[in-house]
Each structure stands twice: as C-alpha cells, then as structure tokens.
Chain A
Amino acid sequence: MITVLVANPKGGCGKTTIATHLASAFAGAGLRTALADADRQRSSLRWLRQRPDEAAPIMAQDWRQGPKDLPGPVDRLIIDSPAAMKLGKIDELLRQADVIVVPVLPSGFDVGVSRAFLKKLDDLKPIRKSKTAVAVVRNRVQLGTRSAAHLDRFMLGVGFTGVGRLRHRTIYTEVASQGLSIFDLPAKQYEDLRDDWAPLLRYIENADPSISNFAVGE
C-alpha cells in the first residue's frame, strides 16, 4: 500500500481537488483505493457522497476523529489532511504517509505560508532521513503569467522537488460538483489536462515502500 497525505496549512489551495483526483486516478486503474477525510470541512467526504455508482469505486473513510483501521485490503490510501499550521496536530498522519503532497498556489501570500510549512516539514525525522517523499505541486497555474514565474522561483528556492504543475481550468469545479474527476471522463476528452498529473502520479508510484532499488542495480 502507498499512503499519500495531501497537506497544506492554508485552506483553498486545492487540497481536496488533488486528493479526489489522485483517488479516482488510482481507482480507475483497477487499484483498491480509499479516500480518508481528516478535514473538519469534510469536502472529500461530500465529493464521495456525490460520486455516481458507475464511477470507479473509492472507499470512503471518515477520519475527522483520527485515523481508523481500513475495512479490507487497500492498495492506495489518500488522506485529505486538516488545515493545520502546527505539525503536532497532524503528526500521526505525517508519520503514516509514504508521500506528502503539498499543493502551492501562485499567489505571493500563499507562497509565504507554504515556505514556512515546508521548512517545518523538513525538520521532521522521517523526511530528513528521506524515508518520506515530499512532492510540491504547483496548482492552478496560468502559464506565462507573472505569478507563475514567481512560483517557479519559489520552487527553486525551497529545495524540495517540484512535481509537475496543474493548469487552472474551470472543468475542475464542474466535475467536482458531480463527485467526479477528469480521470472519470471519456479517454480522449481532456487528455492534455490528465497529462498534467502524470509527473505526480509517477512520483507517487515510485515512492512505493515495497519497491526495492536493488532490482535495477542502484
């Protein structure tokens, strides 16, 4: 199992969009997927409630009162973390995660908060020892704008791996209201938007704790 924690202390940076999209990408690939919502706002749980029966199944987990045992075998667990600046509050979730995905918005204010958060993350033992992978994802990027360039400089500064960028599109809000993601749409439609997610998905796949590098000779 790979456990992915989607976390950012600031609300509204697309945490839920990323968590729900990752979950439906994995579920669509035939993997047993669970989406655990630890956020008081329960946006991921609401999305799951809207999800049509014919869409790839995702197990819903209410984690607002803390982590629970999973009901059966799970291949990918996505956790939508609560918005908390104090890491102590999400300590248990951080320790559980194989990958921490941090969405970052291109606005100046957001970058400041994210930098402080990443600095704190960096001090955590499993991350320092690079047992836990941290992926910074640039969200709602409008290519060629000044804030996009600003974000690029930020990415170079923090010393974390930037794993792809997700372009700003209204389709994300449209599908969200139906409990869907762009991975649930027909194959040809929005293929280029799905490509935005490929680096992040590949990054997560490579963070599988059961993967050993010896097989390829590292």
Chain B
Amino acid sequence: MAADPSMGTEVELKLRADPETLERLWQAPQLRGADGAAPKVKELENVYYDTADLRLRKRGLAFRIRRDGTRFIQTVKTGDTEAAGLFSRGEWEGPVPSLEPRLDVIGDPDIRAALGLILPGELRPVFTTRVHREVQQVNGTDSLGRLKMIEAAFDRGEIEAAGVVQPLSEIELELVQGAPRALFDLALSLQDIAPTQLETRSKSARGYALATGRRPAWHRAKPLALKPQMSVDDALTAVLETCLLHWTANEAAALDGSDPEGVHQMRVGLRRFRSAISVFSELLPEEHATWLNGEARWALGALGPARDWDVFLADLLAPVEAERPDDKDLGVLRQAAEERRAAAYVQVREALSEPRYTRFLLQLGGWLEDRGWHCAALTPAQAVWLDQPLLTLANKLLSRRHGKTLKRGKHFARLPVEDRHKVRIAMKKLRYTTEFFSDLYPAKAARPYIKAMRGLQESLGHLNDVAVAETLLAELAKPQKGRRRPAGLDRSVGKVIGWYAHAVTQFEPEMCRNWKAFAKTKPFWNRSGK
C-alpha cells in the first residue's frame, strides 16, 4: 500500500452540532493556526454510487465522485461500516473526467479485489451530499510537545437520497501530521466553548440509511483474537478498544429505539468495558480505573431503565400474556409499562447528548490512543506485569475468579436468595473474564467448562428475573402525582409477581443440579498460574 501514493489511511474525528454552534466554534482561538493562514472555502458535491443490490455497502466500501469546482475526484473508502470505529479508514483516490464512475483507473489490486466484480453500467447514484466547506489549518504542538497539523473542516449542507433531504452540519478534524491524541485534545478543548457530539457514523452510513429507509442496525462485538504470547499491555489496549467500538457502533440503534437490541448491545459493550477495567484494575493507576469505571457506570445507569422496561415487556410480561390471553388486567399493566419505556428512551437520548458523555468518549479515545496508563502514577510492579505475556496473567485471573465463585456458592442448596445473588454476580464476572481469555486456550479444552458455566448462569438468571420483575412492578404500582390509578393495576401487579415467585420454586432442583455440575467441572487453564 505504501508504494501507491493515492492510497492512505484517514485519521479523523467528527463532531456534530447545529449550525449556530458551528458558527461559534469557527471563532475559537485554538483553531487559528500559528502561521495565521487564511481559511479555504469550497463548494463540494459528492455523489455516492453502488450496485442495485448494494454490494459495495455490504463489503464495507464507499464509492464516491466528488465535484470540487471543475475537478472530479473518485474515492473508494474501505472499512466504511458503522462498526468501523471512531476514525481511521482506508482510502484510494484519483482524478476522473466526469461524474461517470471509472473502474479501469483503479490500479491497486487490493482495492479491485475489495470492489469485486461490477458489471458494466451496474453502478448508479444512491445519494448525494452537497456541502459548503470551510477549512482551517491548525498547526502547533500537542500537550506532549509533539508537532501536530490538523485540518478542521466545517461542513454545512444537506444529504439527499430518493428525493428526501436531511440537513448536514458537522466538523471534521483530520490529522495531517502528528499523533492521533492531538485530535482528541483539540476536540476536547472545543467542548469548553460549545458542546458538540461525537459523530460515529460516516456521511455514507447516513446516506445509505436515508436511501434505504432502514433503521440503524445493531452490532455484535467484534471477535478479540488475543494471542497467548502477546503482551498484557497490547491485550489491554485491544480489549478496551473492542468494547468502546462495540458500544459506540450501537449508539445510532439505541437512539433510534425501534429495536431493543440497540440499547442492549450498547449496554453489553459498556458492561464488558467495566468488567475489563475491573479485570485489569491492578495494572492501571488507581485514579484512572476509578475515572473509567465511574463514567461507564454513569452511562450504563442512564441506559438501564430502557433495558429494564424492554426486558419486562418482552421477556416477563409477554409469557404471562400468552398464557392468559383474555386477562384484561394485563392490558392495563402493558400500557403502564409502555409509557415507562417511552420515558426511559427519552432519558437515553438526553444522556447521550450530554456533554459529559462526549467528554468521556473523547478523553477515553485520547487515553487509549496514547496508552495513557503509562504515566507517573504507574508503579514499577504494574509496569512489569504489563510487559508479561498475556497467558500468565490469564491463568492467574481465571483462577482467582473461579475460586471466588466457588467460595460464594459453598453449600449452594442451603444459601438464601441474597447470597445466591452474590453467586450470580461472581459468576457474571467469571464469565466476562472467561470470554476475554478463552481464545488463548484450545477450544476443545474450554468447551465443557463454558457449557457448565452457561447452564448455571441461565439458572441463576431466573433469580434475577424475579428480582427485576419485583422492582419494576413495585415501580408501576407506585402512585404517580396527578394521575388516576387505572383500575386493575394492583391486581395485575400481584398476578405477575406471583407468577414469577412460583416459577422460581420450580427451577430450584435444576439450579442446584447446575451448581453441582459447575462446581465439579475442571478448569481449562493452568491453575498453578504458570
């Protein structure tokens, strides 16, 4: 790739704000470069092309021709999926004579391979963006004294597909030279002037959404692919990056709210992040772990009620409704719960547009980019651990989580519900640790253990169902100011609580069996910790 000058990786951050905020930020002193160069102004038109079956989109590509005055530039971007990360996309570009796509000018065999076979005339316009772009070059040094050169492009305009037009208003910070950290620092300092939001979707992702009319998709976590011999330091970076990517990729779906998976996946990403922080906590400066854990917990908390009501409606109320189709009381309950869910989603949207959330992402992004844990507060012992091969740490941490779970679950059959909840939580932590590290061991060896762990976790999940049902039903039963309590509400609450309280007693023998099975299963890692 290095041999071809037209091929490169773009490192950029995008901030979304309304046009008035853009106006204010344009005046920001930190955007005035040291050399005082005058800003450039451009009128750009970008036409994005694809096949009728959207194969380029499916392959994570964006194919566009940009009209910049009298010039036409054809660009192919790779890795352009919603889950591609905050920045860094591969890019090929070259001049073309018109708005007509030209495949024959693309010499790079890897880009040709990525595009695949395209039949003659098969590429057609999917959507168009038109922007008034003002670019300010920002030169200087970053917080560590390294040279930086950033292009800050202020885009105002529209995006049009299939006759529908949406406004477009964002700032693109592109790194021309220097360390990526500089982008995050600049974005953070702009937050002090006016709040913006980190835009994780590319313009093309937005354009396709508009063109296809599809709701934003949710995404699973990308596989981690950790290796036994990689350093703890590299593994830590990979794990945290994957978690961050997972939750930010689901932001659009969570904000949209039409599929419960959006908020759910975002929470899974955040929860895995928290557990990674907890797994690696001894290796991080204490105040770093506290900060990250606190912010992630806050975000999780903001998304919690939306998830709770989704679960309540789909997994707790629906089964009862299915068994009692003529029960009118349950309809009262459903309506009350749906109102709560709608309110919870309003809360999600508010939290994600809060400056606190944007700051968290920007600070975390910069910290990860620079591996910010390597600072004065890092102890020599921690530094040694970070240098170790991952397998050594994995053996140690798995043994510890395993031991803790066994201790909590001692005399399981006789444990009261509160103690079983503690087992459930220990189990959850064990499961996250196992998920992070199981790739380091032969899959066959880990299988029986993972199976036993899953079985037990499922059983313990019933306990949680009741606890959640009780909390949420109590919430519904609470009198609300200025509102008449609908007839049948108390009755329906009683019915559903009773339903699950009884169900748990039925699960008791299975739960004890699953505990015994798990406690007997041999760990798949080296327990001596070597």
Q: Interface of A with B (CB < 8 Å)?
A: 25-26, 29-32, 73, 75-76, 187, 198, 201-202, 204-206, 208, 210-218
Interchain nearest-CB distance for A34 vs B (Å): 13
Assembled-state Cα–Cα distance A76/B81 (Å): 23
Name B113's contact: one of A32, A206, A212 (CB within 8 Å): A32
Cβ B58 vs Cβ A217 within 8 A: no
Cβ A26 vs Cβ B117 within 8 A: yes
Name A206's contact: one of B53, B60, B214 (CB within 8 Å): B53
Q: Interface of B with A (CB < 8 Å)?
A: 51, 53-55, 57-60, 81-83, 103-104, 106, 109, 112-113, 116-120, 208, 212, 214-217, 219
Could you show 11 A-B contacts with beta carbons less than 8 Å apart? A25-B117, A30-B109, A31-B117, A73-B113, A75-B112, A75-B116, A202-B55, A206-B55, A211-B55, A212-B60, A217-B214
Interchain nearest-CB distance for B113 vs A (Å): 4
- Which residues of B lie under 8 Å from residue A201 when comparing CB positions? 117, 119
Which A residue sits closest to B59, measured CB to CB? A211
- Which residues of B lie under 8 Å from residue A204 when comparing CB positions? 117
Cβ A205 vs Cβ B214 within 8 A: no
Name B81's contact: one of A26, A30, A31, A214 (CB within 8 Å): A214
- Which residues of B lie under 8 Å from residue A187 when comparing CB positions? 120
Top 5 A-B residue pairs of the complex, sorted by shortest distance between their CB atoms: A217-B214, A217-B217, A75-B113, A30-B112, A29-B117
Assembled-state Cα–Cα distance A210/B114 (Å): 10
Cβ B82 vs Cβ A215 within 8 A: yes
- Contacts A31-B113, A202-B119 known; A214 to B219 CB distance under 8 Å? yes
Name A214's contact: one of B54, B55, B83 (CB within 8 Å): B83
Cβ B112 vs Cβ A210 within 8 A: no
Interchain nearest-CB distance for A196 vs B (Å): 12
- Which residues of B lie under 8 Å from residue A30 when comparing CB positions? 103-104, 106, 109, 112
Cβ A202 vs Cβ B219 within 8 A: no
Assembled-state Cα–Cα distance A206/B81 (Å): 17
Assembled-state Cα–Cα distance A205/B113 (Å): 11
- Which residues of A lie under 8 Å from residue B59 when comparing CB positions? 208, 210-211, 215
- Contacts A30-B112, A31-B112, A32-B109 known; A215 to B117 CB distance under 8 Å? no
- Which residues of A lie under 8 Å from residue B216 when comparing CB positions? 217
Interchain nearest-CB distance for B305 vs A (Å): 26
Which A residue sits closest to B58, measured CB to CB? A211
Interchain nearest-CB distance for A217 vs B (Å): 4
Assembled-state Cα–Cα distance A202/B56 (Å): 12
Interchain nearest-CB distance for A70 vs B (Å): 14
- Contacts A31-B113, A32-B113 known; A202 to B214 CB distance under 8 Å? no
Cβ B119 vs Cβ A216 within 8 A: no
Which B residue sits closest to A28, measured CB to CB? B117
Assembled-state Cα–Cα distance A188/B275 (Å): 62
Cβ B113 vs Cβ A215 within 8 A: no
Cβ B113 vs Cβ A216 within 8 A: no
Name A216's contact: one of B83, B104, B118, B212 (CB within 8 Å): B212
- Which residues of A lie under 8 Å from residue B82 when comparing CB positions? 215
Interchain nearest-CB distance for A69 vs B (Å): 19
Considering residues B59, B113, B116, B215, which has the most beta carbons from chain A within 10 angstroms of its beta carbon?
B116
Interchain nearest-CB distance for A25 vs B (Å): 7
Cβ B113 vs Cβ A217 within 8 A: no
Interchain nearest-CB distance for B269 vs A (Å): 15
- Which residues of B lie under 8 Å from residue A210 when comparing CB positions? 59
Which B residue sits closest to A218, measured CB to CB? B217
- Which residues of B lie under 8 Å from residue A206 when comparing CB positions? 53, 55, 58
Which B residue sits closest to A204, measured CB to CB? B117
Considering residues A204, A210, A215, A217, which has the most beta carbons from chain B within 10 angstroms of its beta carbon?
A215
Assembled-state Cα–Cα distance A76/B114 (Å): 12
Name B53's contact: one of A31, A202, A212 (CB within 8 Å): A202
Interchain nearest-CB distance for B252 vs A (Å): 11
- Contacts A29-B118, A31-B116 known; A215 to B57 CB distance under 8 Å? yes
Cβ B117 vs Cβ A205 within 8 A: yes
Interchain nearest-CB distance for A209 vs B (Å): 11
Assembled-state Cα–Cα distance A217/B83 (Å): 12
Cβ A216 vs Cβ B81 within 8 A: no
Which A residue sits closest to B110, measured CB to CB? A73
Assembled-state Cα–Cα distance A25/B53 (Å): 19
- Which residues of A lie under 8 Å from residue B54 when comparing CB positions? 216
Cβ A217 vs Cβ B212 within 8 A: yes
Query: Beyond the given A211-B55, A216-B208, could you list 12 further A-B residue pairs with CB under 8 A, ordered by the A residue number?
Result: A29-B103, A30-B112, A187-B120, A202-B53, A206-B55, A211-B58, A211-B59, A215-B59, A215-B60, A216-B212, A216-B214, A217-B214
